[in-house]
Amino acid sequence: MKTAVIALAFGVALAGPLAAQIMTAEDGDAERGADLAAESCAQCHDITQDGEFKTYPPSFASIGAYRSDDQIFSRIYFPQMHTAMPEMGWYLDRQGIADLVAYIRSVEITVD
């Protein structure tokens, strides 16, 4: 019982702050996100409207199609380790990341 309480408290302590910080496309400005993307992401990602699928790194058009807002937000904030995706959490503020999520949503393509 005591262990469960401690585990729960620990889980809340870890999940709480991140969950509270996640912002969605609705909080962002896609036009500002487009500027940020051109500046900081385009050297690696295809950030265009009709970006191709199955590229590495993935195009923004395909990320939009496959990921939810909170997944996109967290992957910009905390990228997969040991990949070329740089950590952006120290450099972009939460509003900037929300702007990028809004931009990625705006270039998303439909998968049929």
Interface residues with ligand HEC (CB under 6 A)?
37, 40-41, 43-45, 57-58, 63, 67, 72, 75-76, 80, 83-86, 88, 100
Nearer to ligand HEC, 2 or 54 (CB): 54
Token match 């992401």: residue? 41
Nearer to ligand HEC, 6 or 44 (CB): 44
The minimum distance between CB 18 and ligand HEC, in angstroms, equals 16
The minimum distance between CB 94 and ligand HEC, in angstroms, equals 13
Nearer to ligand HEC, 11 or 86 (CB): 86
Comparing C-alpha atoms, which of 20, 37, 23 is closest to residue 106? 37
The Cβ-side half-sphere exposure at 62, using a 13 Å CA radius, reads 11
Q: Output DSSP code: residue 103.
A: H
The minimum distance between CB 13 and ligand HEC, in angstroms, equals 26
The minimum distance between CB 105 and ligand HEC, in angstroms, equals 12
Comparing C-alpha atoms, which of 107, 110, 112, 109 is closest to residue 33? 107
Comparing C-alpha atoms, which of 17, 25, 15, 44 is closest to residue 95? 25
